[in-house]
Amino acid sequence: MACFSATQLYSLSWTLSAKPRPLNPNPNSSLFVKCTNRTLSTVPSPIRCPSRASIVSSCVSSEIGIAERASTLRELCEGHVPDHILRRRVFFHFLFPKNNGVEEVGFVAPTDVQREALPVLLSGHDCILHAQTGSGKTLAYLLSMFSVVNTQRSAVQAVIVVPTRELGMQVTKVARVLSAKPAEPGVEACSVMALLDGGMLRRHKSWLKAEPPTVVVATLGSLCQMLEKQILTLESMRVLIIDEVDFIFNSPKQVSSLRKVLMSYSSIKNRQTIFASASIPHHRRFLHDCIQQKWTKADVVHVHVNPVEPMPSRLHHRFLICDKDERPQTLLSLLKSDAPQSAIIFVGEQSEKSKKAGQGPPTTLLIDLLRTSDTMFSYPHLDPYATSCDLSSIGLQEMRQGGSYLLVATDLASRGVDLPETTHIYNFDLPKNAVDYLHRAGRTDHADEEETLLQGINSYRATLSLTALTKNENAECFAEQLADHFKNQPCTNTTGSNTVPGTEPHFSNYTNLLAKCNLNLTTTQDGQILPACVPNLVPNLVLSNFTQSQYSKYLNDTKFTGVGISSENNWIVLVLTANTTGGSFVNDKSAGSVSRLV
C-alpha cells in the first residue's frame, strides 16, 4: 500500500466540514524568555498578543518597546537604513501576498517578524530569525544588511547563503530592486552578484577581480568554490546571512562547508551573523551550539515568531491510502474533483538506483503523465511546469504572471520558491519528516477570506467554461458597506444563505450606501447582491453557500463579469457587476458631495 496526502485551503475542500479544532487549545497564553543577569527565566507574558513571539538570550527591551509602537517600516528603520531605500516604490505582491499595490517601502506596515526582528538586527546583534514561510524574513534581513554596507567601498561586505538556485534568484531580485541607483545625484547603487550553481563562473571571476560587488548571494557550493580558489575573500565582510539554515543540516558535506565559511574564511568578531529559517528543529540546542562552536557571538538573539502554531490554521489536510500503482490515477482524480486554481505537486528526489537504470527524474515522469492526461485537457489554465535545481528565473516569472499553474517540484528545488497564489499542495511522495511537510504546506494559505472565495468561484466557473470574474473596486466598496450593514445580524434562515435580493427587508438607507461609494441606482440596477452568513466563515462552507445554492444561477450567468467581496463577522457579501450600462458600477461624480454628508 502507498500513502498520498494533500494540503489545501478550506475553500476548495471535498466535503463540507464543521469548524476545525484550533491547534492551540489555549490561544490566550503566550510565553517569552527574558534575560536576568545572564540567566534564562521563563515567565508568563502579560502584554504579548497570542502566538506572537519569544525572544531568547538577550535583553533588548527598549528596542522592542519602540517596535511595538511602530506602524510603518520607516519608523523601525529610519536613521539606520538609507532613505532612498525607504523611499523606493516597489510592487509588493512578491514580498507581501496580500498587498497588490505599488508602495514606498517605508510606508508599509511591518509584519510580526519584522516588528520583532528589525530592532535586534539594526542594533547589530547576531540573530537566529525563526518564522514561518511568507512572514517577511527576507525583507527584514535585507533592510538590516543595507544599514551596514558602504557603497563607496569596492569590496564584498555582505554574503547571503541560500540552499537553492531558485531562492537565490528571488533574493537577488529583491535586493537589486531595493538597492537600484536612485534619481538623486551623489548616491551610488549597491551592486549585487548572484553566485549560484549553474552560473557563468568565468564571468563571475572577471567581475570579482575587476570591481567586487557589495553583496553576494550564493549557494554554499559556489561560495566555497570561489573561496578555495581565492577568487573571493571575506576579509571585508560585515554581514553573513544563512537563509533556510535547517536545510544545510541534512547533509554532512554541507555542514562541513558551512563551518569553513563561519570559522575559517571569516571571523565572528568582524561580522554580524544572521541565521534564518521557517523551521529549526531543536532550536534551543542550535542556539547553544552556535555559541559553543563560535558561529555567533555569545549575545546572539533568537527571534521566534509564531512558535505555538507553526502550521497555518486554515489548511485542510487530507490523507489517502492506495496501491502504489494507483497513485497516478488517484492524483488525476483529485485534480479533476478539486479543479485547483494553482497547485504544487511534490515528488521525491531521484534515487541513485533510478539514475543507473536510466530512468528519468520523478518530476519529468509526472509532467509527462499530466500533459497526456484527459483530466488536464479539461483545465487548460493549468499548464504543468517542472522545477529542478536549474529552473530559470524566466520560468518562475511566467508562472507568477499567469496566476494559474501546476508546478511539479522536489523539496530541494522548491525551498524558498514564493508563489503566494498557490491554493493546493499535493504530496505525491510523502515528505521525509515533519519539517519538510511544514515547508511544503507553507507554500499555500497566503490568501484571505475574500481572495479565497474569489479563487474558488473562478475555479467553479472554469469548469463551466465561463470567464473568470475580475475585481471591481466600486463593487468592492459597496460590498464593504453592505457587510458592515449585515455584520450584527444573526445567522438564521431569513438572514443566511437563503437571503436573496428582493426577499430581505429593503434597506432604508440603500441609496446612502451607494452614495458612500459614489454610485447610484442607474449604474447598479443590473448588478446582483449575494449575502451569506456562515459561522466563523469556514472557507469551504462559504464557497458552497454560493456554488451549491440558489446563488449558483448568478455565478453561471455570462452577463456577470466583475465582482466585489467583503466580510464582517460571520457575514460575507458578494456583489456582481454586469457587462451592461445598468450593471457597470461606474462612479457617479454627482454622488461625491452626498458621500461626504452621510
Domain range list for the chain: 2-13+311-444, 31-305, 450-597
Q: Which residue has the higher pLDDT, 78 or 38?
A: 78
Q: Which of 25-29, 324-328, 407-411, 498-502 has the highest mean pLDDT?
A: 324-328
Average pLDDT over residues 320-338: 87
Measured in whole angstroms, how far is the alpha carbon of residue 370 from the centre of its chain?
26
> What is the per-residue pLDDT for 68?
61
Alpha helices (H) in 357-491, listed in sequence order = 362-371, 374-377, 393-402, 411-414, 434-441, 449-463, 473-486
Q: Dihedral through CA 417, CA 419, CA 424, CA 425, nearest 10? A: 0
From CA 350, how far away is CA 352, in angstroms rounded?
A: 7
- What is the mean predicted confidence (pLDDT) over 206-224? 89
Find how far residue 318's CA is from the centre of its chain: 22
How far does Cα 541 stand from its chain's mean position? 24
Whole-number percent of the chain with pLDDT over 70: 71
pLDDT over threshold 90, residue 127: yes
Residue 265 predicted with pLDDT over 90: yes
Question: Using 50, 70 and 90 to split pLDDT, how confident is the model at 119?
Answer: very high
**CATH code, 31-305:** 3.40.50.300
8-state DSSP, 217: E
Cα–Cα distances in Å, from 348 out to 1, 390, 431, 521? 17, 17, 8, 57
Torsional class of 342: left (φ above 0), alpha (ψ -120 to 50), beta (otherwise): beta
Radius of gyration of the chain (CA): 26
Handedness of CA 51, 56, 60, 62 (dihedral sign): positive
Using alpha carbons, select from 296, 193, 279, 294 the residue that is nearest to residue 243.
279
Coil/strand/helix, residue 569: coil
Q: Are 343 and 406 in contact (CB under 8 A)?
A: yes
Which region among 375-379, 390-394, 449-453, 462-466 has the lowest average model confidence (pLDDT)? 390-394
Q: Is residue 325 within 8 Å of residue 19, measured between CB atoms?
A: no
d(CA 128, CA 256): 20
DSSP state of 467: P
Going by C-beta distance under 8 Å and a sequence separation of 6 or more, which residues neighbour residue 464? 556
pLDDT at residue 525 above 70?
Answer: yes
d(CA 562, CA 585): 9
- Provide φ and ψ at 563, rounded to 5°: -155, 150
pLDDT score at 354: 75
pLDDT at residue 143 is higher than 90? yes
Indicate the class that CATH gives domain 2-13+311-444. Answer: alpha beta
Task: Write down the pLDDT at residue 39.
Answer: 25
For 56, the 3-state DSSP assignment is: strand
**Total count of residues recorded for the chain:** 598
Q: Is the pLDDT of residue 559 over 90?
A: yes
Q: Is the pTM of this model over 0.75?
A: no
Q: State the average pLDDT over residues 221-229.
A: 90
Instruction: Tell me the fold of 450-597.
Output: Pathogenesis-related Protein p14a (3.40.33)
2-13+311-444 and 31-305, same CATH topology: yes
Q: Which of 144, 174, 170, 178 is nearest to 271 (CA)?
A: 144
Helix axes 137-146, 165-179, angle to 10 degrees: 50
**Residue 182 DSSP code:** P
For residue 259, the model assigns a pLDDT of: 94
At 213 the three-state DSSP class reads coil
Query: At residue 411, what are phi and psi to the nearest 5 degrees?
Result: -60, -40
Greater confidence (38 vs 564) lies with: 564
pLDDT exceeds 90 at position 131: no
448 confidence band (pLDDT: 50, 70, 90): low
The predicted pLDDT at position 252 comes to 87
Residue 118 has pLDDT above 90, yes or no: yes
Q: How confident is the model at residue 120 (pLDDT cuts 50, 70, 90)?
A: very high
